Amino acid sequence: MAAILPSRRSVLATLALTAGTVALSGTGIANAFTQAALDPAKPRTKPVVFVVGDSTSSAYQQSERPRAGWGQALPLLLGPQATVFDYAWSGASSKSFADAGLLDRALALMQPGDYLLISFGHNDEKVADPARGTLPDSTFKEYLSRYIDGAKARGGKPVLVTPVERRRFDSFGMARDSHGAYPQAVRELAAASGTPLVDLTASSKELWQQLGPEGTKSHFLFLSPGEHPQYPQGSEDNTHFQAAGALAVARLVARELQSKEIVPPGYFLNIDGGIDPLLGMFWPAERPIDIPVTLDVGPGRTFATVQSAVDSVPSNSLQRTVIRIQPGTYREAVRVPSNKPRISFIGQGSRPEDVLLVYNNAAGTPKPDGSGNFGTSGSASVRIDGPDFVARNLTFSNDFDEAANMGIKDRQAVALHITADRSVLTNVRCLGNQDTLLVNSPGAGVPARFYFKGCYVEGDVDFIFGRGTAVFSDCEIKSLDRASTTNNGYVTAGSLDLSIKYGYLFDQCRFVSDAAANSVHLGRPWHSGGDPRAVAQVLVRDSWLGAHISGTPWTDMSGFSWREARFHEYNNRGPGAQVTLDRPQLPGAEAGNFTVRTYLQGTDGWAPQLAGSTADCSVVPSEVAA
């Protein structure tokens, strides 16, 4: 059975009634679904290929991988001259898509020179459904004409695409037509209006015939139970594609766009290239068509505190909630529980320093209710347990004053404690001293993955620690100066269960400090609770190491030898990157097995590093640049 998702048909029906803004009731507030702020008038440096259509062309989210639409695979075939924005929606017909206001949204984003690929038919055929059904010789053509005229009015180039064939074979193994008169209606409209045509109905039927009844199963969503974690009970679907099928159909579209000179020469450079679609395709956290709930925090806004905004989010929501935090200091302990997934914290300042989430508990700080001290994990200024968390452009801090609290024995003070699997943090700062950033998981042996991109983390002792899997890409890691000439602390204290292969990866990072040379260790093995199976795994690769890094950068902890941990370096540079016998180097033959992709992909193929790349069809067009 596939992952449980909101019904596209029910949401389409609601959107058709409201044609824009949807208010949620039952939460005590009116939460508006609003599109991210766009500037459609801002000139782009390259044209965008817009895709509008139904489930066969739409982009799918990570929870539905490997299901994919051909529009989602199209970026894999493009050269550098253009990009793709897939605005197709499952369950939509030409009528319901337009009636819901989605055509208007797509057209508002278009600029002169953009393309609009228009592919409907599957759901227009459902004439018994008044919200979706159209008649091939009248209303179907009338609705499609609205797409054509709208694209031309924006200076765009409309392209009609006949609906891709379903997997239908007769008893003799011959591929069958499944769309009745609708493909011919598209052909007639293309001829009458002078609109370029991609006859995907004909080319896909020919491909299915070549592959045959059994060969097509690898293209459609036929999955054995347990083959993919998103579909534990398997799948048998004769309409929708898995990655290989989406790519094959995208190739049919690209070939015809190219052979008919609908696009300039060289647009598609990879049509016949060897591509692994499961590795190359990007599945975003949510579909491009989905509109998030947006909440505003700050002076004069709906919420005065971050926690009050979090508290307002319904439990177990399947839609993203974007919490926009205005510049300022928010002195509060923030908790996002595990039953509140898909929450984003987005700082609204020009720099991450402009939005500060801070508190000052330490491990030895007594709880107000007298039940004991907070403990290390409980000291966190911010704790995130809800999966699919996003943070961008803000600062997490714990400003507990160690010098002023020498009477407290346990002075570990966590700024951010995160256990939320599939979390992405970009342009975020984490500030503290001992135990600044706790990258954890819900339990020993339970994986949780975090992607830190372009972030800054500072501290002194074990300031990146825990049993999670964390990738730090293009980050700055600063060790604070404890005024020692010999020991100014330890960057990491990993505690990864032996059953989990990947712990911490520092890729293209900078390790900096004002501390004395040769006085900071890269890490030590933290066996939490004395657990012998909690064996750190840390790789620092392709990074710059300052002179503060010790010539023997790994050291023992609590009686456990660093040599028994999984510590390695690879291809580092800088004054602190000398290679000695006490610095295990990852063999070159193994380097391809320890990358951003391998650390993060898990069993579900998560690949957040592809967001914003050429593979990403969910990028808002106004943000596309060369």
Query: What are φ and ψ of residue 370, in 5° steps?
Result: 75, 10
* C-alpha dist (Å) from residue 352 to 321, 329, 434, 550: 20, 12, 22, 30
- Separation in Å, CA 488 to CA 211, 311, 513, 517: 64, 40, 10, 10
| End-to-end C-alpha distance for the chain, whole angstroms | 41
The active-site residue out of 179, 228, 240, 568 is: 240
| Rounded distance between C-alpha atoms, residue 259 and residue 338, angstroms | 51
Q: Do residues 163 and 199 make contact, with C-beta atoms less than 8 angstroms apart?
A: no
**Residue 410: what residue type?**
D
Please state whether beta strands 115-119 and 328-331 pair in parallel, antiparallel, or not at all (unpaired). unpaired
DSSP code at position 436: -
Instruction: Work out the burial of residue 153: count CB atoms within 10 Å of its CB; fewer than 13 is exposed, 13-18 middle, 19 or more buried.
Output: exposed
| Element (DSSP H or E) covering residue 191 | helix 182-193
Contacts of 621 (CB under 8 A, 6+ apart): 40, 44, 48, 50, 83, 85, 109, 110, 111, 114
240 is catalytic: yes
> In whole angstroms, what is the distance from residue 318 CA to residue 6 CA?
7
> What is the Cα–Cα distance from 305 to 81, expressed in whole angstroms?
44
3-class DSSP assignment, residue 449? strand
| Residue of 206, 214, 236, 590 with catalytic role | 236
C-alpha angle 570-437-524 in degrees, rounded to nearest 5 = 50
Distances in whole angstroms, Cα of residue 474 to Cα of each of 3, 456, 470, 588, 614: 33, 9, 13, 21, 19
DSSP 496: -
Q: Is 236 noted as a catalytic residue in this protein? A: yes
Where are any strands of DSSP class E within 262-389?
A: 293-297, 321-325, 328-331, 334-336, 343-347, 355-359, 382-384
Give the E-state strand segments of 432-497 in sequence order.
437-439, 449-453, 456-459, 461-466, 469-473, 476-479, 490-494
Return the closest-CA partner of residue 249 out of 334, 161, 322. 161
CB 309, CB 295: distance < 8 Å: yes
Catalytic residue among 55, 63, 317, 473: 55
In the chain, the amino acid numbered 375 is G
Task: List all residues 6 or more positions away from 275 whose beta carbon is below 8 Å from its beta carbon.
Answer: 76, 247
Q: Which residues are catalytic?
A: 55, 236, 240
